[in-house]
Amino acid sequence: MENTRIALVPAYEPEQLLVRVVNELTQKGFEVIVVDDGSSEDKKQIFEEVIRQCPDTILLAHPLNRGKGAALKTGLAYIRRRYAAPYTVITVDADGQHQTDDALRVALLSEKEPQALVLGSRRFTGKVPLKSRLGGMITRLVYRLSSGVRVYDTQTGLRGFSSELIGTLLDIPGDRYEYEMNMLMQFAKEKGPIREVWIETIYLNDNASSHFNPWKDSIRIYKEILKFSASSLISFGLDYLLFCLLLPLTGSAVFANIDARIISAAANYTLNRRMVFNSRAPIGKSALQYALLAGFVLVLNTLMLKVLVSAGISSYLAKILTEIFMWVVSFQVQHKLIFPAVKGARYEKA
């Protein structure tokens, strides 16, 4: 059976460029679905022009703005209901920042690797707005630390996937920009293949058409690692308080560190299991694994602390430096081994 190529374009308050985007995708052989995510009345003429020039375009609409993630899922749900597999879906931004030749290359790779999430990744070369360059660097680092997976462009809106992955994508939480990061996190957790295709970097008018809110949307995107950071900060505060109280009583940085670590580790396990990773792993097994991790961290933590104190660094400063290093080690082990995502029948056929 011939594979259908579908372009899904979420659009909120689009400019006239949307008409060109749809035209070019249609000319490349894509069946185009546009989702109007609650745009204002004065933008209706743009959507009408899309239909006038490309009458085969399917236009879906939200009465109110619900966010990019919700718009994508509205389109995906429609595709699953109306199209027979096999098909390939690419998501394309409405602002003209994706070349249709790049979209086609993403689709071709997705057809070759139907189990993979394919990203059209920008190299961020040429004239790129500073906020976009910095945002890309920060998000790339955050994703690498929290998932253990290297992805160069975590914020790209040009993505491709086969009909086999639609069920998985519809189950991923998030209604706004965080949905795209959650998608990457889900694939990393379940060890789903992620492929990247280098595409041209295009920013029009310093990305003025973007509706990304640097504060609200960044918090949504970084929520998982922020939760872990909050848990770690609470546990560190408890650990450091106990360390400061016990140090003058014991007269030993090593013994004060051990006692404080045992108490704070129990609190950290409870917070991480319930609040951060929302784990369904058996308590007995995860508690044993965490205890082994805590023991390893305690030994390494104590040795590092002893070395720093011996080097002439203040015990209080040495404690802070040690905890920062151990934070990275602890997150990776807990994320990968102790509180992993439940694996199984997530890759369902649409």
- 284-324 pLDDT, tens digit per residue, is 666 677 677 777 777 887 888 889 889 988 888 888 888 77
Checking if the pLDDT of 211 tops 60, the result is no
At residue 227 the predicted structure's pLDDT band, cuts being 50, 70 and 90, is: low
**Which pLDDT score is estimated for 333?**
67
At residue 347 the predicted structure's pLDDT band, cuts being 50, 70 and 90, is: very low
Q: How far apart are the first and last CA of the chain?
A: 16
Query: Taking Cα atoms as reference points, which of 35, 36, 13, 9 lies closest to residue 23?
Result: 9
Give the DSSP H or E segment for 58.
strand 58-62
Q: Which residues pair with 121 in a beta bridge?
A: 198
**Which pLDDT score is estimated for 198?**
87
Checking if the pLDDT of 238 tops 70, the result is yes
pLDDT digits (tens, 9 = 90+) for 98-117: 889 999 999 999 999 999 99
DSSP 134-203: HHHHHHHHHHHHHHS---S-TT-S-EEEEGGGHHHHHHS--SSTHHHHHHHHHHHHTT--EEEEEE----
Q: Taking the CA of residue 77 as centre, how many other CA atoms within 13 Å lie in the half-sphere pointing to its CB?
A: 11
β pairing state of 87-91 and 159-162: antiparallel
Which residues of the chain are in CATH 3.90.550.10 domains?
Answer: 4-221
Checking if the pLDDT of 131 tops 80, the result is no
- Higher-pLDDT residue of 310 and 142 is 310
- Higher-pLDDT residue of 287 and 239 is 239
User: What's the whole-number mean pLDDT along residues 26-55?
Assistant: 95
Domain 4-221 class in CATH: alpha beta
Checking if the pLDDT of 350 tops 50, the result is no
d(CA 330, CA 335): 8
Cis amide prior to 86 (ω within 30 degrees): yes
Report yes or no: 209 and 117 within 8 Å, Cβ to Cβ: no
Report yes or no: 341 and 274 within 8 Å, Cβ to Cβ: no
Report yes or no: 26 and 32 within 8 Å, Cβ to Cβ: yes
**Which pLDDT score is estimated for 46?**
95
Q: What's the full length of the chain, in residues?
A: 350
**Which pLDDT score is estimated for 344?**
33
What predicted TM-score, i.e. pTM, was given to this entire model? 0.63
Q: Which two tokens stand for residue 331?
A: 């997150």
Tell me the one-letter amino acid at 293.
L
Give the DSSP H or E segment for 286.
helix 283-310
Checking if the pLDDT of 209 tops 50, the result is no
Query: Which residue shows structure tokens 């933008």?
Result: 43
**Which pLDDT score is estimated for 205?**
54
Q: Which two tokens stand for residue 73?
A: 């899922």
d(CA 329, CA 133): 27
At residue 129 the predicted structure's pLDDT band, cuts being 50, 70 and 90, is: low
User: What's the whole-number mean pLDDT along residues 242-260?
Assistant: 85
- Higher-pLDDT residue of 282 and 313 is 313
Angle between helices 253-271 and 223-250 (to 10 degrees): 150
Report the alpha-carbon angle 176-73-120, nearest 5. Answer: 75
Least confident of 10-19, 60-69, 176-185, 218-227: 218-227
